Structure 1
Amino acid sequence: MTTTILVLVLVVVPISIAIFIFFYDKRQKQHAILRNYPILGRLRYTTEKAGPELRQYLFEGDNEGKPFSRTEYLHMVLPGKYLSGIIGFGSKRDFEGAGFYIRNAMFTKQNEEMRVDNEDLVTTMRYHIDEEGLLSRHEHREEVPALPWLLPEEDAIVIGPDCRHPFHVRSLLGQSAMSYGALGQNAITALSKGIGMAKEAWMNTGEGGLSPYHLAGDAHIIAQIGSGLFGFRTEDGEFSWERLTEKAELPQVKAFEIKMAQGAKMRGGHVEGEKVTDEIAKIRNVTPYTTINSPNRFKQFSDYPTLFDFIEKVRDHTGKPVGIKIVIGGKQDAEDLASFMEETGKGPDFISLDGAEGGSGATYQDLADSVGLPLRSSLILLDDALRKYEVRDRVKVIASGKITTPDKAAIALAMGADLVQVARGFMISVGCIMAQRCHTNDCPAGVATTDAKLQKGLVVEEKKFRVTNYILTMREGLFRIAAAAGLDSPTKLERHHIVYKDERGRVYPVE
């Protein structure tokens, strides 16, 4: 009897299912392959569906994956988990290819010579591997004190020094804009708490508005104002000065950022209706479960004179620094902005410069692939223009665009940035596995989703420490690189500290 049942299960049932699929696919009219080759066609579509995962884990080389290779991914995951960026046996970088390199000094700096504030230690948690085999890993989590790697107060980057409430920044690294709605409440909460625990770092709310989850920790906040005015709008969609006042009165809110463009999307944001819960709709002042598309640009301004007037009004109303987030498409863009700042004596207190390689939870392929310049090209254009028109000392530049490791951050600082910010590195710290399903609300890691069931997989108490560790290792790495370059602070990195090597081995000074 048992043998008969086993035969039915192993032979008869699969054959019956195959026969059903065969005749079902023969009759359907949508797929020609399935009509002509029902069984093989099913195998084709199944393999195609599993293709991204198979390539990522089995077939792609460590340095081949996009938008981040496996090596780049691990350089974000491991520091967050183990509070260490140490590798063994050598780099996996292709040293025959073209790229930027940081010039080492013949006489480097000692740790005690560095201009750094490491007085107040950070209490965090890290994992320690006890035993690792082919099919198992035994590890435990332990509480450890960690150095904060902050700028001394006298070296702080001051944004808006002439504002009533300047923003004194002592962390060279912060979190780039990510909205509640694009990310779920557990992810935003873990980020807020982890960034706050790392001390003095900031997070940008993204254009979705300021949520209670952004305020869950002690992170400094840059409140972003997008073209859809989410969190800053009336029911009719007009700008609300009353809501702006509410945000400005919060001590955690240190500055406001007007989002004009983002690297991956030179247009307004997009959120699918299924992600717009009642809570998110209330924060954004929109209709629940309705797809949101922000306008391509603000209705409040359409050129530099009206933009600068709007910046002045927001600054006067709040007393806090006001910046803009932009993407540069060419030299003339930077020249026009800088020249108008010089001509009027007005302008933003900071510029968040995003590169075309920046990420997004949802955008269009054509915009992400081909519109706007990459960060390293545009950063030099912007810095050059601001210096040419002698307004560089009036504005701070915050760079973003695939800055995920200390060396990439150091190169951005050397090219002209005052500060750097990261988005996807923080997403990976809280569990992102690069499934590239951010726009579907089906994020398997519970990061880029508002689905309550999927979010349960993201445990805030565990992930917040990974965020803290990621920040600490990034900041430590910046000071380590500065010391190797013979500098006592990463703030002193300049263009002459980096060189460009082409594929033939020729070296060019960046300046």
Structure 2
Amino acid sequence: MSEEQLFATLRIIDNHPWLFWFGVSAIFLISVFIHDLLQRKHTIKHNFPIVGHIRYLFEMIGPELRQYWVANDKEEMPFNRAERSWVYATSKKQNNNFGFGTTELLYDAGYPIIKHSAFPFPEGQAKFLNGDPSMIPSLKVMGESHGRKKPYRPSSIINISAMSYGSLGERAVSALNRGAKLARCYQNTGEGGLSPYHAFGADVVWQLGTGYFGARDEKGKFSMDKFLERLSENPYVRAIEIKLSQGAKPGKGGILPGAKVTAEIAKIRGIRVGQDCISPNAHSEFTDVKGLVDFIERIAAETGLPVGIKSAVGESKFWEELAERMKSGGKGPDFITIDGGEGGTGAAPLTFTDHVSLPFKVGFARVYRIFQNAGIADGIVWIGSGKLGFPDRAIVAFAMGCDLINVARESMMSIGCIQAQKCHTGHCPAGVATQSKWLQAGLDVNLKAERAASYIKGFRKELLAVAHACGYEHPLQFTGTDIEIGAGLNRFRTLSEVLEYEREPVRFTTMMDYTSFIPEKSSA
């Protein structure tokens, strides 16, 4: 091409710039076409060059398309749009009421009905602890029955469940901790261990998983010296929880993809940067019930703190043996967290997620009944976990025997989670379950802390409202006879009849008897 022809071509492009972009686009599409024909990894792309990419695009954004355009308000899983809307509205202090009546199928088998009282508890007589109309203190003290040196009465019966720093980013963990401080509830660290983002003033329960992160030696074994050293640096730790298993992947260790293992996380956990962090599926400190109890007592003796266990429920033999040993020896966990198979915030193989461990109501009832029959249920603080972050489900759990509720995914939604279901990829679009600095940049810690606190407080206020409607001052006064469960064919049975037991009666006088256990409100 001569110089004169070149200038003529440039003048044409200058007068018609679309020709340039048309040429660039054509070259790009031809390159993609050739690449698709030559590659052999994806049959669809080979057989349908260029067009085949649309299929993978739709597959990638499928959850979002279904969430916002296809599914109805009661259809999505694990949380439908109506449930998410309630959490979002509550966290933002917006109107969380719904109009035009229920859309639920009230006659379906398994549907719970909470029976109101003809003579409600007068809301004008309700006492507010420290001026907060949402405060509901625990009626039990962790460690009291075993005489621990540092017993702990949780200020709130609703708390933030185990979610590790690593699975969640530092901004999300920080927001939840600050929110927990504002709401005066505790935050469970998850098995990732203590991080700087758990130290903004909220009460903390340190969870020890099979990896003993933050309390392990160079070989990955539990180190009491390192454990005590970390505890001495973290005055907010009020209890220790030994995780035997969790609802998302019971019998399998935690999974943190290498893409999420930053230098800071590697330092906190004592692992290598960029490598998949897969915890062992079993503890190295004990292999049987006796060993578990000995480990619990050793930690309690060294720290003075209450020590409990968390587990999903499978076979019953373990629980029967634990109950028998606790009854005969007077030693064992101060609290027991039962996680349902419907729970799960992180990465897990599909079979474990869908088919391993019993759902909460079945699993909890089996375990609670074992300890009740042994006559020791009342000496344990019972914690329920697994999709219980709504007032109706919490009330059923309380009537079954729970003393506290731990909430995970609903807490994530309160700080912005949109249920994109990309937690395991590191590409959470809401900046919650990711280590990407770019994606986290949109998560304002102070704003989200306020929303996390508003969700917890709004949750508790609605719990109190329902309790008052049923004639009670405290939600733990609910019993199985206060709830009826649909049995199909227009028949209902009380929860007590379904469970074949009644929870141990609570010892409650008035809210004002618990004021000394509730810390004064402080800012984040």
Identify whether the pair has TM-score above 0.5, normalized to the shorter chain: yes
Q: Say which is worse superposed, 485-494 or 255-264, in terms of deviation.
A: 485-494
Amino acid at match of 1:112: G
Aligned pairs for 1:361-440 within 5 A: 361-440=346-425
Partner of residue 349, structure 1: 334
1:228 corresponds in structure 2 to: 211
1:241 is the counterpart of 2:252? no
Q: CA separation of 1:247/1:104 partners in 2, compared to 1, >3 Å: closer, same or farther?
A: farther
Question: What secondary structure, in the 3-state scheme, does the structure 1 residue paired with 2:466 have?
Answer: helix
Question: Could you tell me how far apart the structure 1 residues matched to 2:14 and 2:489 are?
Answer: 69
Residue 448 (1) aligns with residue 433 (2): yes
Matched, 1:317 2:307: no
Distance 1:285 1:21 in 2: 44
Aligned to 2:235: 251
Counterpart of 1:363 in 2: which secondary structure? coil
Q: Following TM superposition, by how much is the alpha carbon of 1:229 offset from its aligned partner in structure 2, in angstroms?
A: 0.5
2:152 to 153, 159, 167: 167
**2:92 alignment partner in structure 1:** 81
The amino acid of 1:340's aligned partner reads: R
Match of 1:58 among 64, 69, 75: 69
TM-fit CA distance, 1:297: 1.0
Q: Does 1:150 align with 2:161?
A: no
- Tell me how far apart the structure 2 counterparts of residues 481 and 9 of structure 1 sit (CA, whole Å): 67
Question: In the alignment, which residue of structure 2 is the partner of 1:37?
Answer: 48
Cα distance, 1:496 vs structure 2: 1.5
Deviations 1:76-132 (A, max 9, x none): 111001255322222332324331221222221111344x533334xxxxxxxxxxx
User: Post-superposition shift, 1:160?
Assistant: 0.8
1:108 is the counterpart of 2:108: no
Which one-letter code corresponds to 1:485 in the other structure? C
1:124-147 per-residue CA deviation (whole Å, 9 max, x = no partner) reads: xxxxxxxxxxxxxxxxxxxxxxx3
Which AA in structure 1 matches 2:186? W
Output the amino acid matched with 1:312: E
Q: Deviations over 1:487-506 (max 9, x none)?
A: 12112112111111034221
What is aligned with 2:187?
Answer: 203
Distance change in 2, residues 1:17/1:238 (3 Å): closer
Structure 1 distance, partners of 2:333, 2:253, is: 21
One-letter amino acid matched to 2:123 = N
Deviation at 1:4?
A: 6.6
Whole-Å Cα distance in 2 between the matches of residues 452 and 48 of structure 1? 25
State the distance in 2 between where 1:276 and 1:196 align: 27
Decide which structure has the larger Cα Rg and report it.
2
Deviation of 1:17 (Å): 4.2
Cα distance change of structure 1 residues 24 and 247 upon mapping to structure 2, 3 Å threshold: closer
Checking the alignment, whether the CA contact within 8 Å between 1:156 and 1:170 is kept in structure 2 is no
* Residue 468 (structure 1) aligned with residue 476 (structure 2): no
Aligned-residue offset at 1:248: 4.0
Q: Deviations for 1:428-447, whole angstroms, at most 9, x for unmatched residues?
A: 11111111111222111111
Map 1:177-216 to 2 at 5 A: 177-199=162-184, 201-216=185-200
C-alpha distance in 2 between matches for 1:9 and 1:74:
47
Amino acid at match of 1:101: I
Taking a change above 3 Å as real, the CA distance of residues 277 and 88 of structure 1, as seen in their structure-2 partners, is same
SS at match of 1:213: helix
Contact (CA 8 Å) 2:243, 2:310: kept in 1 or not? yes
Q: Which amino acid aligns with 2:70?
A: F
Match of 2:470 in 1: 485
Alignment RMSD (CA, Å): 2.0
Q: What is the distance in 1 between the residues matched to 2:268 and 2:182?
A: 25
The alpha carbon displacement at 1:472 in A equals 0.3
Instruction: Specify the SS of the correspondent of 2:196.
Output: coil
Shift in Å, 1:241: 1.2
Q: Residue type matched to 2:205 in 1?
A: I
Which residue type is aligned with residue 25 of structure 1? D
- Describe the superposition over 1:407-462 as per-residue Cα deviations: whole angstroms up to 9, x where unpaired: 11111111110100101111111111111111222111111112222211111011
1:227 is matched by which residue type in structure 2? T
1:85·1:473 contact (CA, 8 Å) conserved in 2?
no
Give 1:205 shift: 0.6
CA contact (8 A) 2:134 2:458 kept: no
| Preserved CA contact (<8 Å) 1:109 1:488 | yes
CA contact (8 A) 1:189 1:460 kept: yes
**Offset at residue 7 of structure 1 (A):** 5.2
Contact 1:330 1:373 in 2 (8 A): no
Stretches of structure 2 lacking an aligned partner (at least 5 in a row): 1-11, 497-524
CA–CA distance in 1 between the matches of 2:86 and 2:303? 39
Inter-CA distance 42–282: structure 2 relative to 1 (3 Å threshold): closer
Determine if the alignment matches structure 1 residue 117 to structure 2 residue 159: no
Question: Given the alignment of the two structures, is residue 176 of structure 1 paired with residue 187 of structure 2, yes or no?
Answer: no
Distance 1:165 1:385, change over 3 A: same
**Residue type of the alignment partner of 1:219:** A
Gaps of at least 5 residues in structure 1 are 122-146
Report what 1:296 is aligned to. 281
User: What's 1:128 paired with?
Assistant: none
SS in 2 for 1:467: helix
CA–CA distance in 2 between the matches of 1:83 and 1:34?
Answer: 46
Query: Structure 1 residues 102, 277: closer, same or farther in 2, change over 3 A?
Result: same
Distance 1:63 1:294, change over 3 A: same
Alignment partner of 1:421: what SS?
strand
In the TM superposition, residue 13 of structure 1 has moved relative to its aligned partner by 5.3
Task: Give the corresponding residue for 1:127.
Answer: none
